[in-house]
Amino acid sequence: MFDSLLFDLMFVVLLGIISQWVAWRFSMPAIVVMSIAGLLVGPIFGFINPQETMGDLFSPIISLAVAIILFEGSLNLDFKEIKGFSKPVGRIVTVGAFIAWIGGSLAAHYVAGLSWAVAWIIGGLFIVTGPTVILPLLRQARLKPRPAAILKWEGIVVDPFGALLAVFAYEFIKYINGEVNFNTLLMFFAASGFAVFIGCFAGWFIGRSLERGGIPEFLKAPVLFAVVIFTFVLSDEIMHETGLLAVTAMGMTMANMRISSLDDIKHFKENISVLLISGIFVMLTASLSPDVLLQIMNPNIIAFVVVMLIVVRPLSIWISTIGTELNYREKLLIGWIAPRGIVALTVSGYFATILLDNGYQDAEILTALTFALVFGTVVLHGFSISWVAKKLNLATTDDSGVLLVGGTKFAAEFAEAIQKTGNDVMIVDRNYSNLVSARNKGIKSYTGNILLEQTELNVDLTPYQYMIAMTHSDRYNANVCADFGPDLGYDHLYQTETRRVNDEAERPLKAGQSLFIPALPISELERRIIRGDVMRRTLITKQYSYTNYLRDRDNQSVLLFIEREDGSIEFFSEDKEIQAFAGDTVVALATPQKTIERVKERLDEEGAAKEENMKEVVDYYVEPTSLEETKGYKDLPGEAPPTIK
């Protein structure tokens, strides 16, 4: 539309962010929306062509973006996450990747019709899945912890190895053809090992500097950003594609150093990654030519994609996980989900150019072949992962798990009351000290910002279908409810208020339903817990109805939730009306005086019952006047029968 580099950059970023918003708003796979948007503005309508506009800058921009995205993803690879199922993870990223390479290469030769040289190169590249595609799908599907962790680790760890495997295959083919000697192969392995060393050293050095205060707060993110780029470029200059390996090693090193100040940096890098992912996918798809789109309809290419989906991937997972603790349902799901992403597109473009320059004419279909696999897997897996996970019972189906955002003494007491119902509950707070009460009560807790993508990656949120924001910030509470609205549904989101106001114009920000009856501010709820108010449970029966309960309850009590007879819970809210029925239990925050009165009443009732029992015993022990009157007498436990006088 406009022959301007600046306009194309602006348009790509804007279109990418709009695509992300559309995907969030309508619960669609973001990558699918971004890819379609790129195709519409690029080869279909011809509005922009970023590759032509950017020229020589196109490939470096893509490469740097991929490095940053991969580093940001590797910051989540904490080894403690896979404790207990490290065996299947290790098998999949080694044996499984090797089998996928062999299978993909055979499919590329016999099905897609590529020469053996090109087939081995592209087969190595296609073992990748990648964090840019797998992480959004995991957030969408809400998988159970083990399959989610395995897919995440595979996507991040295998990504650089796929690119390296393609480079190794290319160097090996040149060695077979006599173009290079054996020393060149040795240099490849040495360069790969050196890249790992550079990445680990860079991660360790930056991590130590952050922990010892060697970098001021305002420079932490910029310095880390610069070191990531330097590490990538240095390794990549030594040998092409080893830069991805270096930044992955750097991220994994820092992820396992327990760096306290890393969370704030993750927030910055997460924002950068979202921006880059949004722009990169639009750039890549918008740069495709109409001829490439026509090539995708080639029957050989379509057949290749089908074989990769239903033969190569499942076979590699099933063989590599033999003897591991994975069950057949987990193997089915992991064997189906393998979307390809940015690394496959960018590296295949690089090799297409190199191979064509070296006389491999069949390499001209590599771009079409790669895009067909990327788009096909993203669409199929993006729209099917939730359905498949539910059918295989690998998605959380519990409708009553509760996630509390905001750590206070009231939150700890409230969480304990929920836990007693048998439902999952967790408290998340940005401040570690705010979770002391929760930890003392044995309540599951996590220190972090729930709005960060990193928290979603580090914490399994699938058991929690209700989210309650009860921090001391109305704006933060509203942001939490607004952010999770499309995922959980607004009927499952609640927030407390920080103050009570009479003027509607002064009411605090709200995005979730009001919580409790009456909807007291969190500060008032906290004050009541400190003064000694308690969580009181009242069983509703046919004799003691919900109407009776409402009539008898203390006017200072706060209605919290109803535990249904089946164990599910439903929260009281001024925005809706709920009823309790026989078999349900009403949980309320009651004053200590009311509780003491109830205890006295119960003791009085028990005392009256004891007196009545004693009267029955005394009446029973009236001495009989004859032997006949003793017939049929039954001993009372621990007592001897009366003697006849």
Highest-scoring range by mean pLDDT, 20-24, 261-265, 412-416: 412-416
Which helix H or strand E contains 588, and what residues bound it? strand 585-590
pLDDT, tens only, 139-190 = 667 787 788 888 888 887 777 777 778 878 887 887 787 777 778 778 888 8
Residue 502 resides in a domain: yes
Residue 22 resides in a domain: no
| pLDDT greater than 60 at residue 276 | yes
Among 72-81, 182-191, 416-425, the least confident range: 72-81
| pLDDT greater than 60 at residue 510 | yes
- For residue 542, what are the domain limits? 402-594
Residue 267 resides in a domain: yes
Question: Given this model, what pLDDT does residue 602 score?
Answer: 58
Among 35-39, 85-89, 106-110, 548-552, the least confident range: 85-89
The answer to whether residues 385 and 504 belong to one domain is: no
Question: Given this model, what pLDDT does residue 638 score?
Answer: 40
Question: Given this model, what pLDDT does residue 269 score?
Answer: 63
| pLDDT greater than 90 at residue 102 | yes
The answer to whether residues 351 and 463 belong to one domain is: no
The answer to whether residues 345 and 460 belong to one domain is: no
The answer to whether residues 358 and 421 belong to one domain is: no
Question: Given this model, what pLDDT does residue 643 score?
Answer: 41
Half-sphere exposure of 645 (CA within 13 A, CB side): 4
The answer to whether residues 66 and 170 belong to one domain is: yes
The answer to whether residues 322 and 413 belong to one domain is: no
Residue 44 resides in a domain: no
Residue 36 resides in a domain: no
Distances (CA, A) of 592 to 55, 557, 598: 74, 10, 10
Question: Given this model, what pLDDT does residue 310 score?
Answer: 93
d(CA 20, CA 298): 31
Question: Given this model, what pLDDT does residue 386 score?
Answer: 83
Distances (CA, A) of 6 to 272, 427, 465: 19, 45, 44
Mean pLDDT rounded to a whole number for the chain: 81
Would you give the end-to-end CA distance of the chain in angstroms? 119
Q: The dihedral of CA 540, 543, 549, 554: what is its sign?
A: negative
Question: Given this model, what pLDDT does residue 309 score?
Answer: 93
pLDDT, tens only, 330-382 = 999 999 998 887 777 777 877 787 788 778 888 888 888 988 998 888 888 88
pLDDT, tens only, 104-121 = 999 999 999 999 988 998
Residue 603 resides in a domain: no
Tally the domains of the chain. Answer: 2
CATH of the domain at 355: 1.20.1530
d(CA 531, CA 413): 13
The answer to whether residues 354 and 479 belong to one domain is: no
| pLDDT greater than 90 at residue 99 | yes
pLDDT, tens only, 585-625 = 999 999 876 555 555 565 566 565 555 555 544 443 344 44
241 by Cβ neighbours in 10 Å (0-12 / 13-18 / 19+) ranks as: buried
d(CA 438, CA 416): 8
Among 159-163, 270-274, 471-475, 562-566, the least confident range: 270-274
Residue 474 resides in a domain: yes
The answer to whether residues 268 and 335 belong to one domain is: yes
Question: Given this model, what pLDDT does residue 340 score?
Answer: 83
Question: Given this model, what pLDDT does residue 398 score?
Answer: 54
Question: Given this model, what pLDDT does residue 465 score?
Answer: 83
The answer to whether residues 317 and 450 belong to one domain is: no
The answer to whether residues 573 and 451 belong to one domain is: yes
> How big is the chain by its Cα radius of gyration, in Å?
32
Residue 278 resides in a domain: no
| pLDDT greater than 80 at residue 635 | no
The answer to whether residues 330 and 474 belong to one domain is: no
CATH of the domain at 436: 3.40.50.720
| pLDDT greater than 50 at residue 544 | yes
The answer to whether residues 454 and 522 belong to one domain is: yes
Q: Residues 409-419: what's their mean pLDDT?
A: 93
Question: Given this model, what pLDDT does residue 261 score?
Answer: 64
How is residue 41 annotated by DSSP? I
Confidence of residue 265 (pLDDT cuts 50, 70, 90): low
